[in-house]
Structure 1
Amino acid sequence: MRIIPRALCLLCCISVSLAAKAQQQKKNESYHLRIKRAVSPVKIDGIIDEQAWQEADAATNFHMVLPMDTSAARLRTDVRMTYDQQHIYLLVESYTPDAGPYMVESLRRDFAFLKNDNFLLFMDPFDDQTNGFSFGANAAGAQWDGLMYDGGKVDLSWDNKWTSVVKNYKDKWVFEAAIPFKTIRYKKGITHWGINFSRNDLKTTEKSAWAPVPRQFATASLAYTGSLDWDTVPPAAGPNISLIPYLLGGIAKDYDKGTPSKFRRDIGLDAKVAITSSLNLDLTVNPDFSQVDVDKQVTNLDRFELFFPEKRQFFLENGDQFSNFGYSTIRPFFSRRIGLGAPIHFGARLSGKLNKDWRLGVMNMQTGKQEEIGLPAQNFTVAALQRRVFSRSNVGFLFINKESLNYDPAKVEDKPVYSRYNRNVGLEYNLASSNNFWTGKAMLLKSYSPGKTGHDFAHAANLQYTSKAWNISWQHEYVGRNYNAEVGYVPRQGYIKLMPQVTRLFFPQSGVVLSHGPQVTSTWFLNEKFRRTDNESMLNYGIVFRKRNTLNIWASNTYIQLLNPFDPTNTGKDSLKTGTRHNWNTVGADYVSKPQSLFTYAFSARYGGYYEDGTRLMTNAELGYRFQPYVSIALSANYNNIRLPQPWGNNSFWLVGPRLDVTMTNTLFFTGFMQYNEQQKNINLNTRFQWRYRPASDLFVVYTDNYLPEPFYVKNRALVLKLVYWFNI
């Protein structure tokens, strides 16, 4: 296989060339906001009456990003920043052409940017154009905070202590915030931080930014930040230790097994220790994740394992070095493998910046035994090291070790056999040009498992060019038949994948359409002897309207040669034989309504062939209505009709999920979510009440029910009460 060396050489050559250009001129280097020490105390109340704000410099004259990126913003936005020994202060005046009402989803934190009138701050305190923090609020006062990584992505699972207030006036809404220095990480001694501000206004459909950003990129792109210039070195955060204990009580009953009710009484502790101003140690003892959102179910018609995202905050927070290594279907580390069917006893993670160029992540987790299935106690160690190269690119190293403790598979009888160990070692190069037009990745992985040698490595590479009119990309993958990532997500082994893609966009000067254009994608799977096993070719035509509603119409051709027996309904009926070949055509359409309406909707439909001379019709609808900002009602409904010859016959599957979100205030929330899955013959009800009684401290009440729909009866149910308290030492 010579694909990887050639791709890696190409990426390196492009990166060297672009790095040379980046050294000549940094993007938006003329945009500066000076931040001075506050000359008076600042009260977070949304009222601009402090002397500190009167004397603070203002960032104004925002630039339009959408619908066009060639003019000044129509709406005026003024931003001021100041600081004292403990906090950074932010004041934003978002002027509006009329009194409202403002368009927001709810008061729930970490809202969807494009569905709310909102303001966001993007901050790069390392000045490396790769990592940082984001803070913001919508026009009703809901908070937004997240960790930034990969030069412009935001991990909203990060949740920390800071305060803010939004106050509405006749001609503007004011957002005022205080962010403790202890909340963020920053390089000691740096007096220039990358910074940008972004505003979204749904009534005018205008998205704007202080430092201009091309419209093909998110305004979060750290390649286009201006500079926050400190009048002196930012204050040291000082000793920074946070303890976050929890108390939990609950009751659960399994009606299926007929066992007595089980009472839960638990206690656990998380701790955060700032080793340096940019390096943090996280510790956890007996963690509990009962308040985490339930997975959104899907009708499973896939031949391979489905992916459900991680939602446990300990694994998500600052975990991008581990979880983003690789590609969507070649993840050597997938944290949901930890604690699967077994309790987590304790864990530790050291993560952050060593300096401007080096970034470190080390994690160790210990799980207990699960006697019922013979699962031994296991230890998981993950280590990642990243080095910035050129202007915005980096090289990363990853090591993963899963070890079964005091376990000998030879002595196990009548129970599943677990491996004694599984290890993965990987190297990755990430390309990001100074202007973000060129991005790419090249990766090499090798696994080590007892009894598995040869064909035990994986590699992949991609290169993408993104301009206003063109998006052109190439990606290939190779996974050996013995490559084994037991702590990862690699649903398929023993294949080669090739995937070119081309998109062309057109931008009318006027009219209801903002952009439109075709996209051509072709995906090929080959076995290790370079013989075709699967391929799908798709032609899509996409339209984005000026009101931000979207329409996509597409057609595809699919070919599959089965590598294993497969039941095309996934209901336990007969299976198609290995080696059988299947080919069919499909057409489909997707429509998403404009986000500024109180009533929103999205529809999808597809119809075409399906295995063994069958047909498949799929329709999907998502409806939503908001009584802003307090109540949001949503309903999703998915229907699949599959017609096949006997023994499968005619099969219909409904998947229905109504959801209710009530946000009494921006600290008091209720969520109710029901899912009816006809394929799995299950009804699930999950309700959660959350009271944020002080910053980052919560009371949760969670109730869960599972029912069998026919005949209708309770399978199991549980009630949990959990109290979390965050305090600093």
Structure 2
Amino acid sequence: MIGLNLRTQPTSTRPVTGNQLMLYRSLCLGAIFTIFLACPLLVQNAASTGARRTMTAERMTSEEVIELDGLLDEPSWQRAVPATDFIQQDPVLGGTPTERTEVRIIYSRDHLYMGVLCFDSEPDKMLGNTMKRDEFLRADDRFMWVMDTFLDQQSGYFFEMNPSGLMADSLMGSGGAQSREWDGIWDAKVLRSHLGWTLEIKIPFRTLNFDPDGTAWGINFQRTIRRKNEENLWTGYLRNQQLRQMSNAGLLEIDIRGGGVTQGFGLDVKPYLTGGGSESPGRDPVVPLVKTTDFGVDLFYNVTPSLRANLTVNTDFAQTEVD
């Protein structure tokens, strides 16, 4: 709170004239107006450059099971304290978002869960047309987040989804560089309703590399409301800041020491099978149907908590995107 106490000390016994009284009033009003304009800037500056914003991951009980249905009705979701108070980056720098966003994080021994409520006063106008995994969401509503699991403010993971359930991810490097070739193993469910859209996300700890003795990760969130050209961030909203710059992230308090969570054997296997066919019935002579099949497998292995190896057998080039 900023208080203002303006007093005139008596220096003479002469009465104050009308002109002097008007001058005093003008000075007081000018000072009050200046402080009024400065208050929002002080608050925004504190949110941007002050202590890092912090949220806490709620530990689940051993009996609890999360069903991915987008409802967020399990007891752990009710206990978790949400991250709110996003700040607008566009179109009004430092403004209040036009729609509310809440993010809750809970975890078990094997999984990290995120529950995101993207409220929308006009849910019939939400945009989510892109469906292909890892496609860039240039025309959709979206929710994005980054995680700095070593708290080094340089590297981490990027994820994003749209209201239709599209999933995209990448590895993040220094300066916001990213590698979209990485496909993490995680699952999610999106539920659309009259309130907006809800995301329920499940990320196995074995998908991530992290410091097993850590007590906090870097984390940040960004929501895009495309029809309004609106970008809202939890922290790091200034023009020279980005979601992908890990130095702008807040803190997620999550105690994983002493075997509180596990990466399992650190081995994930993703097999794939593709098939196709071609035929030209209008040609003379008729070209018969040609069938094709292919298979392969991707192996992911955590060599150490900070090193993950990826081995591909018979790469599926049909799913490879070229920039």
The reply to whether TM is greater than 0.5 is yes
C-alpha deviations, 1:613-652, integer Å up to 9, x for none?
Answer: xxxxxxxxxxxxxxxxxxxxxxxxxxxxxxxxxxxxxxxx
CA deviation after TM superposition for structure 1 residue 52, in Å = 0.4
TM-score normalized by structure 2?
Answer: 0.73
Q: Distance in 2 between matches of 1:138 and 1:264?
A: 33
**Is the 1:65–1:212 contact (alpha carbons within 8 Å) kept by the matching residues of 2?**
no
1:98 to 122, 147, 152: 122
Q: Is the 8 A contact 1:104 1:138 kept in 2?
A: yes
Match of 1:214 in 2: 238
Q: Equivalent residue of 1:45, what SS?
A: coil
Alpha-carbon distance between aligned partners in 1 of 2:273 and 2:97, rounded to the nearest angstrom: 49
Match of 1:277 among 297, 305, 309: 305
Query: What are the Cα deviations for residues 109-159 of structure 1, in whole angstroms up to 9, with x where unaligned?
Result: 224344211111111001111111122310121112221112323332221
Query: 1:282 is matched by which residue type in structure 2?
Result: N
Question: Pairwise mapping of residues 67-106 of structure 1 onto structure 2 (< 5 A)?
Answer: 67-106=91-130
CA distance in 2, matches of 1:179, 1:77: 20
Give the one of 261, 277, 285 matched to 1:235: 261
1:288 is matched with 315
Asked whether the 8 Å contact 1:87–1:180 carries over to 2, the reply is yes
User: Is the partner of 1:243 in helix, strand or coil?
Assistant: strand
Shift, 1:246, TM fit: 5.0
Indicate if the aligned counterparts of 2:89 and 2:239 stay in contact, CA closer than 8 A. Answer: yes
Return the offset for 1:84.
0.4
The residue type equivalent to 1:212 in the other structure is: G
Cα RMSD (Å): 2.8
Structure 1 residue aligned with 2:150, among 100, 115, 126?
126
**Number of aligned residues:** 263
For residue 228 of structure 2, give the secondary structure of its aligned residue in structure 1.
coil
Q: Secondary structure at the match of 2:77?
A: helix
Residue 33 of structure 1 is matched in structure 2 by 55
Question: Where do residues 649-688 of structure 1 align in structure 2 (5 Å cutoff)?
Answer: none
Query: Contact 1:249 / 1:264 at 8 angstroms: preserved in 2?
Result: yes
Alignment check: 8 A CA contact 1:121 1:195 kept? yes
Write the deviation string for residues 250-288 of structure 1: whole angstroms up to 9, x where unpaired.
Answer: 889xxxxxxxx9997766544222112221222344x23
User: Which structure 1 residue ranges, 5 or more long, are not aligned?
Assistant: 1-25, 253-260, 296-308, 310-729
Q: State the distance in 2 between where 1:223 and 1:215 align.
A: 14
CA separation in 1, counterparts of 2:291 and 2:115?
A: 48
Residue by residue, what CA displacement relative to the aligned partner does 1:226-247 show, whole Å, maximum 9, x if unpaired? 0001145351312121234456
Change (3 A) 1:61 1:266: closer
Q: Which amino acid aligns with 2:194?
A: K
Q: Which has the higher strand share?
A: 1
Could you tell me which runs of 5 or more consecutive residues in structure 2 were left unpaired when the two chains were aligned: 1-47, 279-288
How far apart in 1 are the matches of 2:319 and 2:264? Answer: 32
Change (3 A) 1:235 1:266: same
Aligned partner of residue 52 in structure 1, secondary structure: helix
| AA matched with 1:291 | A
Structure possessing the higher relative contact order (Cα contacts under 8 Å, 6 or more residues apart): 2
1:716 counterpart residue number: none
Amino acid at match of 1:95: F
- Does the 8 Å CA contact 1:108/1:142 hold for their aligned counterparts? yes
Equivalences for 1:301-450 in 2 at 5 Å?
Answer: 309=323
Letter in 1 for 2:214: I
Change (3 A) 1:245 1:38: closer
Match of 2:141 among 117, 121, 125: 117
How far is the alpha carbon of 1:219 from its aligned partner? 2.3
Q: Which amino acid in structure 2 is aligned with residue 168 of structure 1?
A: R
SS at match of 2:78: helix
Are the counterparts in 2 of residues 152 and 220 from structure 1 also a CA contact under 8 Å? yes
Cα deviations by residue, 1:480-502 (Å, 9 ceiling, x for unpaired): xxxxxxxxxxxxxxxxxxxxxxx
Question: Could you tell me whether the CA contact under 8 Å between 1:29 and 1:227 is conserved in 2?
Answer: no
What code does the residue aligned with 1:272 have?
F
SS of 2:221's partner is strand
Name the amino acid aligned to 2:301: V
C-alpha offsets along residues 326-361 of structure 1, whole Å, 9 cap, x if unaligned?
A: xxxxxxxxxxxxxxxxxxxxxxxxxxxxxxxxxxxx
**Matches of 1:116 and 1:81, distance apart in 2:** 24
Give 2:150's aligned amino acid.
F
Decide whether the 8 Å contact of 1:105 with 1:116 is kept in 2. Answer: yes
Where has structure 1 moved over 3 Å in runs of 4 or more?
A: 26-30, 243-252, 261-270, 292-295
The match for 1:167 is 191
Distance 1:171 1:192, change over 3 A: same
Identify the residue that residue 9 of structure 2 maps to in structure 1.
none
Q: Which has the higher helix share?
A: 2
Q: What are the superposed Cα offsets for residues 443-482 of structure 1, whole Å, 9 maximum, x if unpaired?
A: xxxxxxxxxxxxxxxxxxxxxxxxxxxxxxxxxxxxxxxx
